[in-house]
Chains A and B, each alone.
Chain A
């Protein structure tokens, strides 16, 4: 009886733990193991190469560019998403049909599969008959090469990324705004605070937990961008949009350099791991302004 009492919690969590170990923990350790080997996915021998893959990875010009691309993409996407979402949230945080409709409309890209979004934008950004260039032409501007030029390809992906996630961010911001007690604004009105001052002295500080949450979540998501790269640019032109996850995929499953790809995977794991730790620290210390 007492033995069963002690064992019961373990026995009952066995299924969940099994799944967790099999599909989460084991692959991570297997990847770390593979990163120290040279393997082509078919050969029965996994040759141990020590730090070889890492040395090759860190000294590779291509990888350095991939990291730079990923950081640029993440920085621009997160920054633009947060700013646009905040502006939209401030504008849409009202009652009325048009505002509810706009909230729904802005959110809708978020629930569409990213593959469809990528295909859609591939058409929109087509240099010859795309919608965007048609609009530019109407305003008398010269057409933009979008995805086909090294200068504009990365920013084109940023546009798609922002378009896709801005709705979700807006909704979270609206929820945050609605949590700010109305009497604070009334007190500020009586305290003669202007609109701008009310915004940066009351709204923004009160929103800071929301901002931080979105910042971390968006950075983690942006670092793992893959679908748009795979469908829209294949990392090109001339590696201009090659980013970490696509790079790993390419080396693993196009070039069959599993060991090398795993080393890059470990790199991604470390970056996302650090962000996740930040996220958890933040969640545990989350300020409740009450």
Chain B
């Protein structure tokens, strides 16, 4: 168990700066997920913790020591790779054992450890098999076992579930959460999949372009995003963000600098009549995705195309309707994408007539 800290970390590849002046604290025993689009530097961050990638400047601390000059093997971390990186010429047992042998763990102890770990991950019957004869899920377990057997202070996982099919991925997700609870060790998990991030992490670090955009727990990230990027990256479908210019009836008193407003797809209500206390506009259903419990509609409105998640009455394609978003469910963003908080109801003016007229005309 250990905390991991980045102090002013910069990473350059030649002339190109990938990560600049990053400060990050990963709490001891947390399940921290680094999430962001591909190329945002999340994998590089993870690899710097492992020591597989050398940072250009700054300090990395694991537990109570600065690991800048400590080689990967001595950092007391274990890593699960995206492609598992199992040694193909060794069988399952040898794969798990390799690190222990190198650490000169006595044979008796090795045997106990391997039995214990293979029991936990359900590999007991497979110890003599070669990785090539195992299924994707089993290989994943071997990779996990190989990491666990070293009893590291920090687990690093680089998109470990991305090679599995959807069903197995969900199952492994649950197993990893349980495993984290059981071990209580710090998990650092990299993914580009925001659903994975939300469902697994107790702390989420959203990254973009080599910068940390926000660090918070899943609920806070979802309900209280710092900027447009996070608002749109987290959540499926993403938050609807509309340019203020495209909403002719909406005006702000005094408070300037608001350029975008947004609302979550599930916070918009679709109805055949107008609703009071909401921003209301007219629209028409373009497409419908029925997912069982919920339905996702793509609605063409006078404000542009918006995505709406609806749980009750099924609307049909081309049906004309009203979209109502409660004032309290609106998010406001400045020109640079930063969130503008604490806008009260009486600070903006919404002239419905104006908007509806435009809407009516466009169909």
Q: Do A and B belong to a common assembly?
A: yes
Instruction: Give chain A's interface residues, CB within 8 Å of chain B.
Output: 181, 183-184, 186-194, 197, 201-202, 205-206, 208, 288-290
Given A190-B99, A192-B99, A290-B132 in contact, is the A183-B83 Cβ separation under 8 Å? Answer: yes
A201 to B103, CA, bound (A): 15
Q: What mask results when residues 90 to 111 of chain B are scored 1 for a CB within 8 Å of chain A, else 0? A: 1000000011001100000000
Is B136's CB within 8 Å of the partner chain A? no
Cα of A194 to Cα of B72 in the assembled complex, Å: 12
Given A183-B85, A189-B52, A202-B87: A197 and B78 interface contact (C-beta under 8 Å): no
Determine if B52 and A191 form an interchain contact, defined as CB atoms under 8 angstroms apart: no
- Give the chain B neighbours of A205 by CB distance below 8 A: 89
A189, A194, A208, A290: most-surrounded residue (chain B CB, <10 A)? A189
Q: How far is the CB of A180 from chain B (nearest CB, A)?
A: 10
Bound form: Cα–Cα A155–B132 in Å: 44
Please, which residues of chain A bring their CB within 8 A of the CB of B99? 190-192
What are the residues of chain A within 8 A of B79 when measuring CB–CB? 186-187, 190
Interfacial chain A residues near B73, Cβ < 8 Å: 189-193
Query: Which B-chain residue is minimally distant from A180 (CB atoms)?
Result: B88
**Could you jot down 16 A-B contacts, CB within 8 Å?**
A183-B85, A186-B79, A186-B81, A187-B79, A187-B81, A187-B146, A189-B52, A189-B72, A190-B50, A190-B73, A190-B99, A191-B146, A192-B73, A192-B102, A201-B90, A206-B88
Q: Shortest beta-carbon distance, A251 to chain B, in Å?
A: 48
**In the complex, what residue of chain B is closest to A187 when comparing beta carbons?**
B85
Q: Which 8 A-B pairs have the closest CB atoms?
A: A192-B73, A289-B88, A191-B99, A205-B89, A183-B85, A192-B102, A187-B85, A183-B81
Write out the residue numbers on chain B whose beta carbons fall within 8 Å of the beta carbon of A186.
Answer: 50, 52, 72, 79, 81, 85
CB of B114 closer than 8 Å to a CB of A: no
**Complex CA distance for A186 and B83, rounded to whole angstroms:** 12
A206 touches B89 (CB 8 A): yes
- Let me know if B234 is at the binding interface, CB within 8 A: no
B35 CB within 8 Å of chain A: no
* List of A residues within 8 angstroms of B86 by Cβ: 187
Q: Could you say which residues of chain A place their CB within 8 Å of the CB of B103?
A: 192
Q: Which A residues touch B89, using CB under 8 A?
A: 202, 205-206, 208, 289
- Determine whether the beta carbon of A193 is less than 8 Å from that of B102: yes
The reply to whether B78 and A190 contact each other, CB–CB distance below 8 Å, is yes
**Which B residues lie within 8 Å of A194 (CB)?**
102
Contacts of A192 in B (CB 8 A): 73-74, 99, 102-103
Smallest CB gap from A289: residue in B: B88
**Of residues B50, B51, B89, which shows the largest number of chain A Cβ atoms within 10 Å of its Cβ?**
B89
Query: Nearest Cβ distance between residue A173 and chain B, in whole angstroms?
Result: 17
Closest to B104 in A: A192
The residue of chain A having its C-beta at the shortest distance from the C-beta of B103 within the complex is A192
Whether a CB of chain A sits under 8 angstroms from the CB of B77 is yes
Q: Name 11 extra pairs, CB < 8 A, besides A183-B85, A192-B102.
A: A181-B85, A186-B52, A189-B51, A189-B73, A190-B52, A190-B73, A190-B78, A191-B99, A193-B73, A193-B102, A206-B89
B132 contacts A201, CB within 8 Å? no
A201 to B94 alpha-carbon distance, docked (Å): 11
Residues of A within 8 A of B132 (CB): 288-290
Task: Kindly provide the distance from the CB of A194 to the nearest chain B CB, expressed in whole angstroms.
Answer: 8
Q: Which residues of B contact A181 (CB under 8 A)?
A: 83, 85
Q: How far is the CA of A193 from the CA of B103 in the complex (A)?
A: 9
Q: Which residues of A contact B90 (CB under 8 A)?
A: 201
B residues near A183, Cβ cutoff 8 Å = 81-83, 85
How far, in angstroms, from A181 to B81 measured CA to CA in the complex?
12
How far, in Å, is A123 (CB) from chain B's closest CB? Answer: 46
Contact of A191 among B51, B83, B88, B102 (CB under 8 A): B102
Q: Give the most central of A181, A184, A191, A192: most B CB within 10 Å.
A: A191
Contact assessment for A187 and B50 in the assembled complex, using a CB-CB cutoff below 8 Å: no
The CA-CA distance from A45 to B90 in the complex, in Å, is: 64
User: A184 is contacted by which of B52, B71, B87 (Cβ under 8 Å)?
Assistant: B87
Nearest Cβ on chain A to B197's Cβ, whole angstroms: 22
**Smallest CB-CB separation from A185: which chain B residue?**
B85
Contact with A along B3-43 (1 / 0, CB 8 A): 00000000000000000000000000000000000000000
- What per-residue 1/0 map shows which CB atoms of B48-62 lie under 8 Å from chain A? 001110000000000
Contacts A190-B72, A191-B73 known; A184 to B102 CB distance under 8 Å?
no
How many angstroms from the CA of A192 to the CA of B104 in the assembled complex? 10
* Chain A neighbourhood of B82, CB < 8 A: 183
Measured CA separation A189–B50 after assembly (Å): 10
